[in-house]
Amino acid sequence: MKIAIIGVGSVGSAVATAVQNTGLAQEIVLFDRDGIRARAAAEDLGHASAFSFDIKISAVSTYRSIRGSEIVIIAAGANQKPGETRNDLLHRNADVISDIIPKVMENIDAKNVKIIVLTNPLDVMVMLAQKLSRLPANRVIGTGTMLDSARFKIILSRQLGISTRSITSYVLGEHGDSSVINWSAVNIGGIALDDFCKQAKISLPQTTRKTIEHRVRNAAYEIIKGRGATWDGIGAAVADLLYAIVNDEKRILTVSTVDGIGKNAVAMSLPRVIGNKGVIMNLRSKTTVDESNELRKSAKVIRKNFDLL
């Protein structure tokens, strides 16, 4: 399988490394408007392949060379500087997506390709990419809150002393400041969170829950403060999404795709079943009235930003 990665900065390089380590691709092509950067990344990754899988990795200077790619990953665009929100990137990155998508579409097989969007503000960029590509919504997929859900799960794991592999926990809505922490759907080995806490004699009061929510929503800001950008987590998330797609796993992941039509259309993260056709089922998680209201607010934030474009 051939995979194209557009944008080979911190995120694109980490994604390329993670994709390479899955062993799922036979060929990875890297495109960046900064050709020198793309060539250097291809060279470095090429050396790494001697220690992992025999994969052909090359930098390409024209979109013609992405032909034959079954999956195109968009990691191009401005990232947040300390203090900036994802939505502050709206207009800059809308220009980037508007530049890239038509060129991608001229060169790939629209009947089969899946586009994975990473550029922020994620959900709005998914909507724009879907509109410009005219692909069915289920094949334009944003990693959405996969990373936020992972952060939530890791914090819960540490708090409860239980392996992440026994925890189901979702963050829904915007991959951004209005994300919704779906407490009511958390289960630990199939046991509802409150019941688990009772059995394990663990107290998880509202104050602790609020602190956890804050840590989940602020994780990226903290990482950006410390190392300038985030890349390892998203690299691993993309690799996980690729496993689900390529192996037709029919796994449930909180990814972002466009739901609804016309003025009601919005892309945000919900639990969705992923297989080799992309998103094959959209699910509604268990939510309280408050969580449903938060989700509606989150959808409004995303739609409002899309309408500004």
Does position 107 interact with ligand NAD (CB under 6 A)? The reply is no
Q: Known catalytic residues?
A: 175
Judged by CB under 6 A, which stretch of 5-13, 153-161, 253-261, 284-292 contacts ligand NAD? 5-13
Judged by CB under 6 A, which stretch of 75-83, 149-157, 176-184, 196-204 contacts ligand NAD? 75-83
User: Which residues, 126 to 185, sit near ligand NAD by CB under 6 A?
Assistant: 143, 147, 175
C-alpha triplet 157, 12, 220: angle, nearest 5°: 40
Report which DSSP code applies to 128. H
Taking residues 7 to 46 in sequence order and writing x for each that binds ligand NAD by CB under 6 A, - otherwise, the string is: xxxxxx-------------------xxx--x---------
How is residue 273 written in tokens?
């079943």
How is residue 137 written in tokens?
């919504």
Does position 278 interact with ligand NAD (CB under 6 A)? The reply is no
Does position 75 interact with ligand NAD (CB under 6 A)? The reply is yes
Judged by CB under 6 A, which stretch of 22-30, 64-72, 112-120, 253-261 contacts ligand NAD? 112-120
Amino acid identity at 277: K
Which residues on adjacent β-strands are paired with residue 285? none
Does position 2 interact with ligand NAD (CB under 6 A)? The reply is no
Please state, in angstroms and rounded to a whole number, the distance separating the CA atoms of residues 59 and 170: 36
How is residue 270 written in tokens?
């919900």
Q: Contact, 152 vs 212, CB < 8 A?
A: yes
Please state, in angstroms and rounded to a whole number, the distance separating the CA atoms of residues 251 and 64: 33
Neighbours of 68 (CB within 10 A): 13
Report which DSSP code applies to 142. E
Q: How far is the CB of 248 from ligand NAD (least distance, A)?
A: 24
Binding site for ligand NAD (CB under 6 A): 6-12, 32-34, 37, 75-80, 89, 93, 96, 99-100, 118-120, 122, 143, 147, 175, 229-230, 234
